[in-house]
Amino acid sequence: MWSTLVPLIIGSAVVPMQIVLTVLLLQSNAGKRVAIAYVAGMTAVRLVQGVVFGLILSSSEAEVTTSQGSSAIVSILLVVVAVLFLVTALRQLLSDDDPDAAPPKWMKATASMTPGKAFLLGAGLLAIGAKFWVFTLGAIAAIGEADLGRPTSIVMFLVFAVLAVSIHLVLIGVTVFAPARSDALLDRASDWLSRHNRVMMIVIGLVFGVWFLIKGLDGLGVW
């Protein structure tokens, strides 16, 4: 299970432009309040996806009479995830555009953004991002296939949801526990992510794309 969950967590967490947005929100007029609302919006969408699709996938698996059928669902999702990772890497190789970047008007509006709008921004970025839907579905399917029981499965999905925003939480924590140094640290983090965004997405896309493709095809008996 963890061999599937860890790459999904990293792929969900390491989205440079989303992290840059958190930095900009922390440096805005409302600071921590809007950044927390932004992260809450992303987390809320993941939790709703977890509830809705967890129930759907659980029902689907209940109708599957063989373990091979259940594994096939997970394997197909892994192949889809692999394709998304590889497409992201290819797009970065061929272009400097970030497919996960927020619209420019949102970037400019962060200075005066309210908590309500920040919540909607976080929720919207997750809701319209196709790969994040698939990442969440892949996590739900992997947890379900592990057959941990409902309480443990719920805890594991909550762990996935929290770790998916762990970098954002760390940045918010910096402003809470090291306020005097937070501006300089946030500026350096934002600059570093902006400079290395393309390389990070290429490496993550290729490594995890190949990994999930091998796992998915192996599960389908193709590899």
- Residue 198 belongs to what domain range? 2-217
Give the span between the Cα atoms of 37 and 65, in whole angstroms. 43
Residues 6+ apart with CB under 8 A from 86: 205, 206, 209, 210, 213
Q: Is the pLDDT of residue 7 over 60?
A: yes
Q: Is residue 162 part of a domain?
A: yes
Tell me the pLDDT tens digit for each residue of 134-190. 888 888 888 888 878 888 989 999 999 999 999 999 999 988 888 778 888 888 887
Q: Are 202 and 42 in contact (CB under 8 A)?
A: no
| Widest distance between CA atoms in the chain | 59
Q: Number of structural domains, the chain? A: 1
User: What is the distance between the alpha carbons of residues 4 and 64, in angstroms, rounded to a whole number?
Assistant: 22
The yes-or-no verdict on residue 65 having pLDDT over 60 is no
In a domain, 136, yes or no: yes
Per-residue pLDDT reduced to its tens digit, 70-105: 567 778 878 888 898 898 888 888 875 555 555 556
Per-residue confidence (pLDDT) for residue 95, from 0 to 100: 74
The CB density around residue 195, as the number of other CB atoms within 10 Å, is 11
In this structure, is residue 62 part of a structural domain?
yes
In a domain, 140, yes or no: yes
Express each pLDDT in 182-218 by its tens digit: 888 888 887 887 777 788 888 888 988 898 888 888 8
In a domain, 223, yes or no: no
**107 pLDDT above the threshold of 80:** no
Helices (H), the chain: 2-13, 16-26, 32-63, 67-94, 104-109, 115-128, 130-145, 150-164, 166-177, 179-219
Residue 222 lies in a domain: no
* Mean pLDDT score of the chain: 82
Residue 105: predicted pLDDT = 64
